[in-house]
Amino acid sequence: MQGQRQTGTPTQRNPLKTPMLDSWLAYLYAPILPYLKKIRIRREGSRSHNPEDILLPAGYAAEVVATGFNAPVHCCFDDRGSCYVSECGHKIEAKPRIVRVDVETGAQGTFFELPEGRWIKEGAFTGACWHEGHLYFMNTGTDRDGLGALSRIGPDGAIEDIVTGLRWGDHHPNYPVVGPDGKLYWGNGTATNLGVVGADNFAYEWLQKFPDFCDVPGEDITLAGHNYEYRNVLGSVRETVRSGAYVPFGTETQPGQVITGSVKCTGSVLRCNPDGGEVELVAWGLRNPYGIAFHPDDRLFATEHGSDERGRRYIIGDREDFYEIVAGAWYGWPDYASGIRLDDPRWGEGGQGREPVLAVPPDPDPPKPFANFEAHAGPNGFDFCRDAAFGFEGDAFVALFGDIAPVTARPMTPKGFKVVRVDMRDKRVVDFAVNKIAGPASKLPHAGFERPSHCQFGPDGALYVVDWGEIEIAPEAGGIRMQLGTGTLWRIRRTAGPRGDRPPEPLVVPLHAVQYLAGLAGAAGLAALGGWALRRWWGTRQR
């Protein structure tokens, strides 16, 4: 049953109240987008590195392996021990590519670069893995409809798309891994924050290019028929539209409406044979299962990005999660977070649009997380330690990318920007590698991590950390742009001596609070300058 796109005035159910920063920025941004797109700014630079600015437990040391990457997102190793770093191509003036790195010397060279026509800046190249002589990689924006694909490069260097038609939006199909059964597994993120395509998705730049994108369930679902009011960013922002769940922007839903499910759904974990055959849905109802990995005992786990405080459906303080993935399970998204319903009092009284959009949940008691991370910390790629010599054998080491304040949340102090360890016995999250001052190197007086994006143990037993690099504000690029040449590959080795359990405590400063005050002061200064100029102009006219 299909919905219909409509325009009109706000309804009593969801009046345009509690304006969110992201939506109102989109309303201001939409009319001037054609002019902003004419601006061409190349953001490039270098950064300092000081491994001593990264605090570690006793018995460990950090070092720089290679620098100068363009938004590196992931790394993997082949059977000969060579390291392959994936550069994502997301909102950056550089093509997605794979860089081969000699981890002993730091020497690097381009192994593979995506040809023109096989990528778009709104999408992302999210990572790769080696299996039986082939390099498998995930990329969005591959085909004419903008959908993503799992592809592989053979010994002859030719590209073969083995799974196509993968949906995306705010989040993407994520990097693949090889399971103990020899199949390829990957997480597929959702198109939206909590099920509804809204004005906040305009700022991610995919809505205006792919207006029919929306989330797709893993099985047939029945909607409750709730719709949410937005200014029409795809037409005139003086009009309003009503958008429901699991339908395109400006499409209204009805109570009892059935949305057809698909194996290639959003918010899921999928798998296939090495040749792309037998694509199967492993689990769904996840928001963004960014990183996945198999424990040494063959259990599958995933990091999960919690929801943001944006759009017309949100809660306050949604945590990031670490899930054990059980075949056939539904994990609750978009009506549950961390296994708790959005309208549950445990989420407090903040937020809006918290009523369920599904008339009947696939599971009224979805699985709870194995462990939780801080809200908005950004748990990305991770790996399990399999080497007793390194220590913490069987534990997961997770890269925390860091918050995107103030776009998705408004914390006073930085969240993430470090590497943590999940103690698999006690289900605890423990700091492992942290900056001496908590937060990104570009904003604070240290030269440690900027934004850790992936953790991978190498054949040498060391932990390799892919550091994405700097993110800059860029209104001409939908809000943010990645800084060229600021990505890094770090390595953490076990050294001699007793092993500590955790690093020293970092210094925590109210970085974001200072940034908010500076932003307000800047806005006030501009307003005052504009008022003074207007008064001068008016005074001249009167004379």
pTM of the model: 0.90
Q: What is the pLDDT of residue 144?
A: 66
Q: What is the pLDDT of residue 411?
A: 73
Report the distance separating Cα 378 and Cα 169, nearest Å: 17
Q: What is the pLDDT of residue 480?
A: 72
The domain limits of the chain are 4-520
Q: pLDDT digit string (tens) for 154-178? A: 988 899 999 999 999 999 999 999 9
Identify the helix (H) or strand (E) that includes residue 536.
helix 511-542
Q: By percentage, how much of the chain surpasses pLDDT 70?
A: 84
Report the distance separating Cα 33 and Cα 22, nearest Å: 15
Write the single-letter amino acid at 152: R
At 122, is the pLDDT very low, low, confident or very high (cuts 50, 70, 90)?
A: confident
CA nearest neighbour of 90 among 184, 9, 246, 205: 205
* Helix/strand/coil for 443: helix
Stretch 349-360: mean pLDDT: 96
345 secondary structure, DSSP code: G
Buried b (16+ CB within 10 A) or exposed e, 338-370: bebbbeeeebeeebebbebbbeebbeeebbebb
What string of H, E and C letters represents the secondary structure of 200-257?
A: HHHHHCCCCCCCCCCCCCCCCEEECCCEEEEECCCCCCCCEEEEEECCCCCEECCCCC
Q: What is the pLDDT of residue 405?
A: 77
At 4, is the pLDDT very low, low, confident or very high (cuts 50, 70, 90)?
A: very low
Q: What is the pLDDT of residue 13?
A: 34
Q: What is the pLDDT of residue 408?
A: 61
Q: Could you give phi then psi for residue 466, rounded to 5 degrees?
A: -85, 125
Pairing of strands 125-131, 108-113: unpaired
537 has a pLDDT exceeding 60: no
* Helix/strand/coil for 305: coil
Q: pLDDT digit string (tens) for 380-415? A: 999 999 999 999 999 999 999 999 876 666 678 899
Pairing of strands 336-337, 289-294: unpaired
Q: What is the pLDDT of residue 43?
A: 61
CATH topology of domain 4-520: Neuraminidase (2.120.10)
- The region of weakest confidence among 33-37, 91-95, 320-324, 359-363 is 33-37
Q: pLDDT digit string (tens) for 464-521? A: 999 999 987 665 555 677 899 999 999 999 999 999 999 999 999 988 666 656 555 5
Residue given tokens 């499409």 in the structure block: 251
CA nearest neighbour of 309 among 16, 4, 18: 18
Buried b (16+ CB within 10 A) or exposed e, 439-467: bbbbbbebbbbbbbbbbbbbeeebbbbbb
70 has a pLDDT exceeding 80: yes
207 has a pLDDT exceeding 90: yes
At 33, is the pLDDT very low, low, confident or very high (cuts 50, 70, 90)?
A: low
185 has a pLDDT exceeding 70: yes
Q: By percentage, how much of the chain surpasses pLDDT 90?
A: 75
Residue given tokens 């491994």 in the structure block: 51
Report the distance separating Cα 59 and Cα 495, nearest Å: 5
3 has a pLDDT exceeding 50: no
- The region of weakest confidence among 208-217, 429-438, 507-516 is 507-516
User: Are 381 and 290 spatial neighbours (Cβ–Cβ below 8 Å)?
Assistant: yes
